[in-house]
Homo-oligomer: A and B are copies of this chain.
């Protein structure tokens, strides 16, 4: 799994061959096939593990603060890759490739969907909480959550395909200005 991660970061999805993974792991291709019958299965397991970590990651937010505004910002920050963090950039890029390539395979879609739903409802409930306690004005929490997530995803894609390393950062600011400020304006 670790080897898969590293190869994915360093070589991208195109370079994610069984040979490369085995070499990175310091074993043989055969051994990998002993544990995972097929490459698809390996990738499935890898994605599963990765998405699980993402979930755990989100839970931490709730223990950090109670303020809806702070929570929303903290949430956004999880998905913002710092310009200097080349490794994480490469990784997000690779995950995007992986998602794209794997999308028309049955097993993957379900996982991705489940994960996305989790993220989305986490954010939506933060917003709903904010509405309930009067911090935010009344909006549809899910629609707003989608907007925020889409914007962040789009920024990462822009970063991956065009290279402007600061894309996620400016996206963060834009979200703050146009979404967050908008939500708390009535205040």
Contact = CB atoms under 8 A, between A and B. Distances in A.
Number of copies: 4
Interface of A: 12-14, 93, 96-97, 99-101, 103-104, 109, 112-113, 116, 139, 143-144, 146-147, 149-155, 157-158, 160-163, 167, 170-171, 173-175, 177-179, 182
Nearest to A157: B153
A175 B160 CA distance: 23
B161 A150 contact: no
Contacts of A171: 146-147, 150
A22 to B, nearest CB: 14
A168 to B, nearest CB: 9
Nearest to A113: B162
A3 B136 CA distance: 51
A116 B157 contact: no
